């Protein structure tokens, strides 16, 4: 593809939307990425970035739905598991969050965010489940 060819509308929406997410501007990102998903409903990247945008906007159900879809399209990406874990954590779905953080570490054993998240979730859970003698 040369620069002389017309721009791909999907690629342009995805680029602008993902940049807005990285700049922490979910209100700008969401409409662009929703259009990208409509153009290519089976795009991992479109669902991944839209899920991230919804998470920034604290729209947890929408974030979970798109990240789950992205995970089903490409389950080998540690970031999708980690982001989904964070969303589940925010939704108080701790068992699912733990599963996601563990899956993140299976794919990327050095993922610091997943290690910290598990340490934060599992330690208090263990402390509260201990029974005194």
CATH 1.25.40.10 maps onto the chain at 8-73, 75-128
Tokens of 108: 């990327």
Tens digits of residue pLDDT in 98-112: 999 999 999 999 999
- Band of the pLDDT at 6, cuts 50, 70, 90? low
Its CATH class, for the domain covering 75-128, is: mainly alpha
Its CATH class, for the domain covering 8-73, is: mainly alpha
Taking 60 as the threshold, does the pLDDT of residue 4 lie above it? no
Burial of 28 per CB tally in 10 Å (0-12, 13-18, 19+): middle
Q: What average pLDDT does range 22-40 have in this prediction?
A: 97
**Number of Cβ atoms within 10 Å of the Cβ of 35:** 18
The C-alpha atoms of residue 51 and residue 64 are separated, in whole angstroms, by: 7
pTM of the full structure: 0.86
The C-alpha atoms of residue 117 and residue 83 are separated, in whole angstroms, by: 11
Tens digits of residue pLDDT in 39-70: 999 999 999 999 999 999 999 999 999 999 99
Distance of CA 116 to the CA centre of its chain: 17
The C-alpha atoms of residue 117 and residue 85 are separated, in whole angstroms, by: 9
């Amino acid at each position: 593809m040369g620069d002389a060819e017309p721009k791909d509308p999907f690629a342009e929406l995805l680029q602008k939307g993902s940049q807005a997410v990285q700049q922490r501007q979910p209100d700008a990102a969401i409409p662009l990425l929703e259009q990208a998903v409509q153009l290519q409903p089976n795009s991992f990247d479109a669902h991944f970035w839209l899920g991230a945008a919804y998470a920034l906007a604290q729209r947890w159900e929408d974030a979970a739905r798109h990240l789950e879809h992205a995970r089903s399209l490409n389950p080998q990406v540690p970031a999708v598991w980690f982001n989904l874990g964070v969303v589940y954590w925010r939704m108080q779905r701790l068992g699912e969050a733990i599963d996601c953080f563990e899956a993140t570490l299976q794919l990327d054993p050095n993922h610091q965010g997943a290690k910290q998240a598990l340490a934060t979730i599992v330690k208090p859970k263990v402390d509260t489940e201990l029974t005194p003698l």
